[in-house]
Amino acid sequence: MDAPEVLGTSASYALPETDPDLAELRSWAAVLLKDVSEDITLDVLLVCTELASNAYEHAEGPRAVRIARVGEIIRIEVDDSTPAELPRLGESRISDSRGRGLVLIANLSRCWGTREAADGKTVWAEISA
């Protein structure tokens, strides 16, 4: 993995087709955010991990993560190739003991949502820096 520069505007990370390396994803994101407070960085890393994990659990690839910074807002976006499966807060189609990831994301983020595309969807969250 090439070390990314400190986040200026935005950066993207292509996730592997199988078996996500979430530690590598977090390392990539942490380097981008090295000028951000540790508390905010940890929130962003957790949101990145949850959104990427959901993309592997519930959607098809290819998948990608983008982190963008606009003023005091850090936006995390994860793309996948499954447009019909939009996530719902607190609901899991796998089991009743699942579905807490988006609740966690909603609590850490100022807002979150989904955007459909012809070839998939984007699930995003914004954190105040």
pTM of the full predicted structure? 0.83
The string over 5-39, giving b where at least 16 C-beta atoms fall within 10 Å of a residue's C-beta and e elsewhere, is: eebeeebebebeeeebebeebbebbbebbeebeee
Which residue is it, tokens 């990831």?
A: 101
> Of all residues in the chain, what percent carry a pLDDT higher than 70?
81
pLDDT tens digits for range 40-85: 999 999 999 999 998 998 888 999 999 999 889 999 999 999 887 6
pLDDT at 2: 38
- Asked if residue 52 lies in contact with residue 15, where contact means CB atoms within 8 angstroms, the answer is yes
Which domains are seen in the chain, by residue range? 9-128 (3.30.565.10)
Stretch 22-35: mean pLDDT? 94
Task: Read off the pLDDT band of 101 (50, 70, 90).
Answer: confident
